[in-house]
Every structure is written in structure tokens, then in C-alpha cells.
Structure 1
Amino acid sequence: MSKFPFQRMTRMTKTLVPIVTLLALTVSGCSGGEADVSQPQTGDAGEKPDPYGKYSEPVTVNLGYYTPAENKWPEGSKDTLTDNRYTQMIEEKFNIKINHAFEAPQSGYDQKVSLLVSSNDIPDFLFVSESDFNLLVESDMVEDLTKAYEDYASPLLKNVISGFGPDFVKKVTYKDKLYGIPSTVPAHDNDNIVWIRTDWLKKVGIELPKVITTDDLEKVARAFIEQDPDGNGKKDTYGLQGTSTFVTGTTNYNSFDGIFTAFKSFPKIWVKDANGKIVYGSTLPETKQALGKLRDWYAAGLIDKEFGTIKPDQVAKDISAGKAGISTGYTWAPAKSLADSVKNDPKAEWDSFILAAPDGKWYNRQPNPMGRIMVVKKGTPHPEAIIKLINWFTDMDNMAPGYPKLYSESPGTNWQVRPIQRTFRVKSTVYDRFQRLQDAASGKLKREELPESDMKLFDQYQKGMDALKASPSDWAYILYQFNGGKSVLNPINTEVYSEFYGITKSMEMKWTNLSKLEDESFLRIIVGDKPLDYFDTFVSEWKKQGGGDVTKEVQAEVDRMK
């Protein structure tokens, strides 16, 4: 039987064992001989493992559950969180009954899970964070899922997980054994776009290529401030607006993240230096250069003087009111703020632009590809039951042939009402959809060749953007999918992943203070409270206050991953 490679993110030093093949992730698992009576019951007695097989007797899955923040059942429906189309079809298809071991508000789910983990009182099936996963494995509280995964995971699920690379599965294995099924976070869902009002560009006489530089952005910001693009005879429009969360590990709404990456600066993530050693991106010279540019822009009045305290909602109001014509951040920013812009001014026109680095590449830091991890309490009967359910939902998440389209006619029904409240999507999910839509728009792909959900988007796109303004939310979503999506597909798009997403021992004690030091130092440099060379002081203090110890621990974990 093939094995899983040894590795996991841990706060404890472990003795390495030889790494073995990843075949278990890419081929069907073997079926063993006689059952090991010391292990939890797996499948029906004498059955051949079937990833979609139905139990002859009812099996109950007791799992932790969070209540979606918003949900609307179909009109006239008697559906509930415990009795709905999902649970009914699961019972019909698998003879599995879903029981909520607990229900917690979505905002309080992780806290609830951490309390259960610390009290050694977890339910049979549970999605947990990486840090809680580590504690559970160290405490010998969760089931070895190696055989269950090999025997019962569908080929699609195995392909989804293996598609994120060998290091991905290493995070949930220990001593050659698999202890969790990781949900996935596709790439390119948060790429950094600069959205600019193109009707304002025409008014100030600026033509921009789709790929712009920081000099281009500076020119636009200055023009929008000084040349009265809204035509009211007053200098009351903004250039660049940043919020109190102006730099993150990926990107944020109206942040300066794209300006940092335009300098090949990758703050708040771990990267390799020229010698292949792990370093913290916020401490590198490129970050100092980016801060220097932001400092110059702030001194010149191109950045709103109150940017360090502005909340994202205020920026959205300024855009809606026609006082701001630049929005930086998420690819899907139109759905968040630009819709009200055209609602209040139907003449408003927006388009996406790429802020590239001097080497011509567009760098986008990607989120942690690993979402929450499904674990099974040690000794729980039928651990493979949860894998069967994950198989089924993986089919839905990836629109496999014949996948069930539950609640497709009820857009108000939140997908999170399903029992498996995480997604298992291939890495290229977002990218693939953008490509399909562009192919349909160019005629390379026929409408009827699109998935049903894409057909609806394509039909809206064909109405024309001006016609869609009658429904600003539809206009914004199509702008995101087609204009934003086209930018994401640009070949200069370059993925940047952190070399480490876990938590080390020193991080637990020192990271909050280190992050505060970083954020305050960056802000003081930008607004001119400290000189640019104060950056060197920050780096020195960061290392002295624990950053050096953290870096050594991260290096050790990355080395162990090899």
C-alpha cells in the first residue's frame, strides 16, 4: 500500500523519517486484507471500498457546525439547517444522517473549536485551523485517515489535493500517516487590481495602457486632485486613498499592497533571499523603497491625509459620492464599492489596470492555499463517512458531470447551509472561469459549452455594460468577472506564496507586538513622522524583540518540509 510523506507544521521538534511516494494522492488506493479490529469500523463488513457507496445500515455523522451569517430559504420551504435538500439527499444517497454536535455563530466558530480542543472534548467530525490541528495530533486525539483516504477518496478529490503540490499534504501528515483532509483555497481570487474611472481619465486628458507603472498612477492621482474631474469647479476630489489596513499579507480593499509589490516588496509574508534563506519580507530593502515612494506621495498631497485612520466603508462612500476615482485592491472590488458609483452617476465608467514592477511582472501574493482541515475524533466509527461526503461536495465545487444543483433557483440560499461548510476546489478554479468567460466573449467557446452558472454571466455580459447599469450590482459583478478577469489572465501575472503559513512557538508569544511595531513604524515613515532611514531602526528592533528568533524557527520548519 502506498504511503503519505512525513511532514507537518508543528511547534515541537520531531525526528525525521524517510519521505516516501505521493502515489496515494494520484491513484486509486488499495483495498487491504483482513480488517484490523483495533481500528475504528470502516465501511460495511466485507464491502469493496466505494467512494460513493451507500451504507446498508444508517450511519450518523456528528459534526461541528457554524450558522451562516445570512440565509434565505426558498419561499414556502420548510427547510432548516438540519433538514434541507442537502441532508435529505445525503440520507437518500449514502444512508448517512447529519447531526450537529454543536452550532456556533460563524464569527465565533474558531473560538468554539479552540475551546473544545483545549478541553479534549471534540465532536466526531470537525473542521479545524492548522494550529488546532497540530495540537490535536500532538495530543493523539484524532484518527489516522491514511487507509480511509486511500480507499474512499474519489479520484477528483485526490487530484484536487495533489494539485496544490507535495508540500500541501505534508502539513496534514505525521510519521507517514494522514490525520486530516484539507479544504482548499484556489489561486487568484484576491489579485491586486487598480480600478480607475475612465470617464475621469478622458476629462483630464490621460490615456493609459492596461499595464501601468507607479509613475502612471502618480500622474493619474495628481490629475484627479488638481484638474476637477467631476466638473463642479472645486478641488474636492481625491487621488489615492488608503485605509487603516493599508498593508496586508495578500491584498485588502483600498490598500497599498499593489504599490509594495510593484517594488517587488512582499511585506507580511516569508520569502527566500538570494542565498535561499528564509527572511521576513517586511524587513527587506525593497520594502524600504516602497515606503519611500508612499512617503513622497503623502508629502505631495497625493494620498489622503487621514488615510491611516480611514475605514474601508468611508472610502466606499467617497467613491459612491463621486469624490474618488481610484480604487486599489481586490479584483472583485466592483462588487463592494463601484456599484453605488454608477447607481449615483450612470455616466461613471470604470476599468481595471495592472500595476507592474520594473521587471515587467505583476506580482500577486496568494492566500494560504490550505483552508480549514477536517479531522475525525480518535475511535469514531466509520471515519470514511466524512470522506464520502467530501467526495460528493468536491463534485459540486468543481462542477463535475452530473453534480447536483441544489438551490440553484434560490440565490438567497447561502451555500454554507450545506453540512460540509468548506470548499474543495482545484487550484485553478478562479483562473479557469475567467478563461472560459474570455473565450466565450471572443467566440472561441460556444455559449452552450459553458457551465450553467457561466451561461448566466455570459448572457448578462452580452447585454452591454451600459444596459447593465440599470442594475448596478449586476453591472459590478460583470465588470469584475470580465474586465477584472481579463487582467488576471495577463501572462505577466506572477503568483507569490509565503514560504510558511504556520505558527511557531516564538510567534505565539511575540507576534502581536512585532506586528504592532511593524504597522506603527510603516505608518510613521509614510506620514513623515519618522525619516525613511528609520526603516533600518525598525528592522533592528524587530529582530531584537523576537523577530530573529521567529525567523530561525521558520527556517527550521521550512528545512523540515524538505
Structure 2
Amino acid sequence: MNNRKYASAVVGCFSSVALLAAACSNSGNSPANSPSSTDSKNPSAAAAAAGPLGKYSPPIDVRAVRGINGSFKFPQGEDISNNLWAKTYKEEYGINLTYDWVADNSGGNESAYNKKLNLMIASGQLPDIVAVNSKQFKQLAEDGKLADLTEAFEKFATPYTKDVAKQDGGMAMSSATINGKLLAIPGFNGNITNANVVWIRSDWMKKLNLPEPKTMQDLFAIMEAFATKDPNGDGGKGVIGLAANKNIYDGFADLLGFFNGYHAYPNGMWIKDDAGQLVYGGIQKEMKPALAKLQELYKSGLIDKEFGAKDAAKEAELFGQNKLGITFGANSNPYYPFDDARKRNPEMDWKAYPIPSIDDKPARPAVGFPISTYYVVNKNFKHPEVVVKMFNANFEKFFGKTGDWNTWGVTKDRLEAFKWPFVYGFPPDKDVPGRYEALKKAIETNDPSAMNGEQKADFDAYQAYKNGDQTKWATVRQAGPTDSSFAVLNHYKQNNLLYTNEYRSSLQTDTMTLKWSTLLNLEKEMITKIILGASLDEFDKFVENWKKSGGDQITKEVNDWAANSKK
């Protein structure tokens, strides 16, 4: 994994479809509810925690269970229990971490890990610390199995860890708090890197003397110019204004950003209506004008006539063929597909822009709720603060003043070492404004001395690009001070433009589990039909069918969740 892409994919490493070579094993440790052996031998160990980053003396034993998958890579001779982070826990922090069992966590809620953990929870057993999903967290909290971490967090979290907890406005910590008690430490992660931007062929804009887009109308004008004024110099053969693909929503050739420009929120987004109730964005009236315009663009030849038969990878071939000029997509698009296309077309350049609006209200890019994992502690464990100390280690080693991402996160022989800690998360501000502002300041002052390892890599890449190294183009277009996706994301953040899904749970409701994939497919089919020329009445038929096919029941369940989450 390229270390510039991992932030938006960290949640994905919990659910990789890659299979673990050895699905699960049992170490034969003591029963899950028995006291820690260190506790019985060293009753004063809790008093020797030595502060947020100090070493337990004497050491303490911490028992856990863990889910891993085939994306984990270790140097030869190392494994999940014997690696850089396992040794650091023991040698630097006095934490002897052992796993009662390890299981494959690919497959999400149906993974071997979750199935085995559910059986453990049902039997009333719990290790000292465990990573759980939202449903498991709620069940354990309701059963009174969890330690209250409120005091432990206040006393043992470093200033940096406390800052991380505030970076998303307290959203993650709030989701881990029940009846005023902090019952888990969330696996922190930012949602800003999931927001779409608009990528435009800036070399074509320059060639055609086109102004930068401020509104949707401006964007339509650029699409038309690209499709009719021969920007690629081949005599006007087949240039397409806007990328799209049959999946409708994807990392690029993605139409979600287009809908957001019309203040419409499909693709699983729940929004609040005027009465404060949660409603599904994909069935609201704002969808219709966006659909009508997409149909018009398609009829005018500004959208690929074959988009309905192409997935994103197939549509990406048009980039390399010099036939696409605009796409809504991810901050990482400079790495793929643009970098590959530039190898065939070295003169090609792309710049990122904020999603424009169809009216005088700013467009708000849709982002999902970023927390899928919670770290909880058995209420009988004598050292609840240890999970806080482990998070302190995570943030300090990766991003703190003494940290070095190139040692603890990504190195030549430890490509994905950031996955090895038992607890881990990423500061919501790590990339934006973190990396973005750090690079901008270092360039302005020509002084990278205050940068951490990951940020310094951005600075080195920027300097190399300015000196003619085209292999660093993707880094500059993602993280650079201007014309980059991070610059756009920073604009979103500064202006409070992100629209976070109001259904802030990583789990589906009961009816979602049965019906959601079908409903989403109906949505995509409806959008495709209308773009290809079907009557806009198809949208009204879709809404009616959506409601009858489980949508109304899901809406009730989502609002029940919202009411219960306030308790």
C-alpha cells in the first residue's frame, strides 16, 4: 500500500477480502474471566503505571483476542506476537501482550473473528482488552461488562491523544460514551479524506483559455468545450466531458459528487429533515434536477455513451487514450488512474477543485461515519488505563514530537508496520490540515525541520518535482500547497462544508442486513435508466418501490437508533 493512500483505507484493512493463512488458533491460556496473573502476583502494579508514556514496573500481563487478515505482512521470522510493536509494548512500556486466539477478520460482520467473538461474548467471557464493532460494543455495555474509562482517559491520555480526540469535534468519543461514561476508546480515523473533489484536465483548460469553475454552470461549460473544441488535437474525435461508470459510485468516474452539487445525498447517506427526523437522501426531491441534467449531458454526448457497460477500471482506459477531461473522484486519483495515464501522455496535467454548487448555497460533499472499531476493557481488569497508554504509544511513535513514521509506520522491510499495534487509529487531522499545512509552511520557509517523517517525505517529493522529477507528480497533486486534492479538502474543512452521514454507526440495522444491497442496486438501476433517456417518472416509481421494499422499515430502525443513541 502506498503510504499516501493508507489514511482513507485504514478502515478497509479490518475488512480485506484476503484470507489469513491460519484462520485461528487457541493458545490455551487461562479462562477469559480469570484475574490477570500479574494482578495476583503484583497487586501494586497499577500504582506503578508511570504516567502516560511510562513503563509498568513490574510488567503487567494483558490478554487479548485479535482479528487479522492476509494484508498483514511481517519480515521473515516475525509474526503477530513477535514483531517491532509487540517487542516495544514489552520492552518500553512493560506490557506483556498475549493473544488467547487469533482469527481471520476478512468478511466484515460475518468474519471468523466476529463469529468467534460473538460466541465468547454470549458465553459471558471477555479477555482483558478486545476490539469490537458497534453492535458488540452496545451489547457489552448493556450487559455491564465494560470498564468505565472516563477517569483513565483523563488521567493517562497524553495532551496529543486528547487533542486527537477533539479533532473531529468529539464525534468519535461521543459514539463511545454511554450515559456519561466513556466505555471504549474508538479507533480514531478521519472522514475528510473520503470526500470527493472535481479533477479537471488543467492543460486542456489552459489550451482553450477556460476560466476555473466556480459554479456547476461553469463546469458544464468546461465539459462542452472539452467535447467540442478538440483539446487533445486529434481533430475532435471522441473527447468526453465527464467520466462515469456503471457502478455510479466509485473512487473515480464517480457521480456522488455531481449529486452533492445539487444538494442531493444518495449512496447510503442519511440526512435530517426539517423536523429533525432521519430520512434517506437518495429518495429526496433534490435528486430529480440532478438526474435531469445528467440525462441532458448524456444526450449531448458529454458523458461516455458506453458508461453503462463499463466499470471504473474500464472507464479509466479513456484517461490513457486522452479522451476524458473531468471526473468527480477521490483525493488519491493522482496515483491512480492519472499517474498511469501520464506515462502515455507526459503533457497531461490534472488539478483538483471543490465540488461546485448549482445555486447560491455551497455544495457539501458527503462523507460517511469513520469509526468501525472500539477498544473495550473487561470491567474486572485491574489496569483499564493500559488501553489509553497503548493509544498514547500509537500516536507518539507515528506522529508525535519524538515519532518517526518511517520507522513505526512504513519502512522498506516493514511496509505496513502501522497495522501491527494491537490498538491503532489515525488522527482525523493527520492528512488535512496536518500534512497539507506542514508542507505548505515548509515550502514557504524552506525549512522542513518541524516535519515528522511522513511530512518530510512530502517535502522531499515536492522539491524533487520542482527539480524536474516527474515521478513525484502524484504526491504534489495530492498534498501540494496549490491545485491539489488536499488543498480542496482543507477548503472544505475551513469552511465546515463536509456533510457527515447522520446514521453514525458502522453496522446495518436488521432490515438493512436483509434489504440494503437490493435497495442500493435499485437506486443505481434507476439512475442509469434515467441518464440513458427514461422518463423522470422512473424516480418517483423508484421512491415508491424503495419504501415498500424495506425502505420504510429501515427508516424506522434508523430513527430508533438515533433516539437510543441519545440516551
Question: 1:509-555 deviations in whole A, cap 9, x for unaligned?
Answer: 43333323322222222222x31122222222222333223323333
Correspondences of 1:277-316 after superposition (within 5 Å): 277-316=277-316
Using the alignment, how far apart are the partners of 2:409 and 2:263 within structure 1? 42
Q: Compute the displacement of 1:453 (Å).
A: 2.8
Q: Compute the displacement of 1:240 (Å).
A: 1.9
Q: Compute the displacement of 1:496 (Å).
A: 0.9
Question: 1:170-208 deviations in whole A, cap 9, x for unaligned?
Answer: 4223344433210122242123222222222344x2412
SS in 2 for 1:363: coil
Partner of 1:241: 243
Whichever residue aligns with residue 478 of structure 1, its letter is V
Question: 1:40-91 deviations in whole A, cap 9, x for unaligned?
Answer: 7597154467333322034244330414526474xxx754443222222221
Using the alignment, how far apart are the partners of 2:104 and 2:204 within structure 1? 43
SS in 2 for 1:126: strand
Question: 1:370-396 deviations in whole A, cap 9, x for unaligned?
Answer: 241112356455443333212110223
Using the alignment, how far apart are the partners of 2:235 and 2:328 within structure 1? 26
Partner of 1:494: 497
Whichever residue aligns with residue 512 of structure 2, its letter is M
Using the alignment, how far apart are the partners of 2:263 and 2:194 within structure 1? 17
Which range moved further: 59-68 or 103-112? Answer: 103-112
SS in 2 for 1:541: helix
Determine which of 196, 201, 210 is the counterpart of 2:200: 196
Q: Compute the displacement of 1:481 (Å).
A: 0.7
Using the alignment, how far apart are the partners of 1:368 and 1:511 within structure 2? 17
Identity %: 28
- Kindly indicate whether the alpha-carbon contact (under 8 Å) linking 1:438 and 1:486 is maintained by their aligned counterparts in 2: no
Partner of 1:64: 66
Using the alignment, how far apart are the partners of 1:319 and 1:256 within structure 2? 17
Partner of 1:478: 476
Whichever residue aligns with residue 340 of structure 1, its letter is D
- Kindly indicate whether the alpha-carbon contact (under 8 Å) linking 2:195 and 2:498 is maintained by their aligned counterparts in 1: no
Whichever residue aligns with residue 171 of structure 1, its letter is S
Whichever residue aligns with residue 207 of structure 1, its letter is L
| Residue 62 to residue 39, structure 1, CA distance change in 2 (3 Å) | closer
Partner of 1:537: 541
Correspondences of 1:445-456 after superposition (within 5 Å): 446-456=447-457
Using the alignment, how far apart are the partners of 2:144 and 2:34 within structure 1? 15
| Residue 519 to residue 95, structure 1, CA distance change in 2 (3 Å) | same
Does the alignment pair 1:153 with 2:153? no
Using the alignment, how far apart are the partners of 2:510 and 2:554 within structure 1? 8
Partner of 1:213: 215
Whichever residue aligns with residue 343 of structure 1, its letter is K
Using the alignment, how far apart are the partners of 2:265 and 2:188 within structure 1? 23
Using the alignment, how far apart are the partners of 1:43 and 1:366 within structure 2? 46
Determine which of 224, 227, 230 is the counterpart of 1:228: 230
Correspondences of 1:517-556 after superposition (within 5 Å): 517-528=522-533, 530-556=534-560
Using the alignment, how far apart are the partners of 1:45 and 1:435 within structure 2? 40
Partner of 1:28: none
Structure 1 length-normalised TM = 0.81
Correspondences of 1:173-192 after superposition (within 5 Å): 173-192=177-196
Does the alignment pair 1:256 with 2:261? no
Using the alignment, how far apart are the partners of 1:70 and 1:306 within structure 2? 38
Partner of 1:98: 97
SS in 2 for 1:325: strand
Question: 1:405-430 deviations in whole A, cap 9, x for unaligned?
Answer: 52578245213442236314144652
SS in 2 for 1:90: helix
- Kindly indicate whether the alpha-carbon contact (under 8 Å) linking 1:98 and 1:419 is maintained by their aligned counterparts in 2: no
Partner of 2:371: 370
Using the alignment, how far apart are the partners of 1:124 and 1:43 within structure 2? 18
Does the alignment pair 1:512 with 2:517? yes
- Kindly indicate whether the alpha-carbon contact (under 8 Å) linking 2:465 and 2:476 is maintained by their aligned counterparts in 1: no
Q: Compute the displacement of 1:476 (Å).
A: 0.8
Kindly tell me the number of residue pairs found equivalent between the two proteins.
512
| Residue 227 to residue 100, structure 1, CA distance change in 2 (3 Å) | farther
Using the alignment, how far apart are the partners of 1:310 and 1:101 within structure 2? 46
Name stretches of at least 5 consecutive residues in structure 1 with no aligned partner.
1-36
SS in 2 for 1:131: helix
Q: Does 1 or 2 have the higher relative contact order (CA < 8 Å, sep 6+)?
A: 1
Structure 2 length-normalised TM = 0.81
Partner of 1:342: 342
Determine which of 438, 441, 451 is the counterpart of 2:440: 438
Using the alignment, how far apart are the partners of 1:285 and 1:127 within structure 2? 40
| Residue 113 to residue 150, structure 1, CA distance change in 2 (3 Å) | farther
Using the alignment, how far apart are the partners of 1:112 and 1:150 within structure 2? 35
SS in 1 for 2:497: strand
Correspondences of 1:45-84 after superposition (within 5 Å): 46-47=47-48, 50-55=51-56, 56-67=58-69, 69=71, 71=73, 73=75, 79-84=78-83
- Kindly indicate whether the alpha-carbon contact (under 8 Å) linking 1:243 and 1:312 is maintained by their aligned counterparts in 2: yes
- Kindly indicate whether the alpha-carbon contact (under 8 Å) linking 1:161 and 1:168 is maintained by their aligned counterparts in 2: yes
RMSD: 3.2
Whichever residue aligns with residue 456 of structure 1, its letter is A
Using the alignment, how far apart are the partners of 1:277 and 1:199 within structure 2? 46
- Kindly indicate whether the alpha-carbon contact (under 8 Å) linking 2:252 and 2:333 is maintained by their aligned counterparts in 1: yes
Whichever residue aligns with residue 313 of structure 1, its letter is A
Using the alignment, how far apart are the partners of 1:304 and 1:43 within structure 2? 70
Partner of 1:32: none
Whichever residue aligns with residue 292 of structure 1, its letter is A
SS in 1 for 2:193: coil
Q: Compute the displacement of 1:507 (Å).
A: 2.9
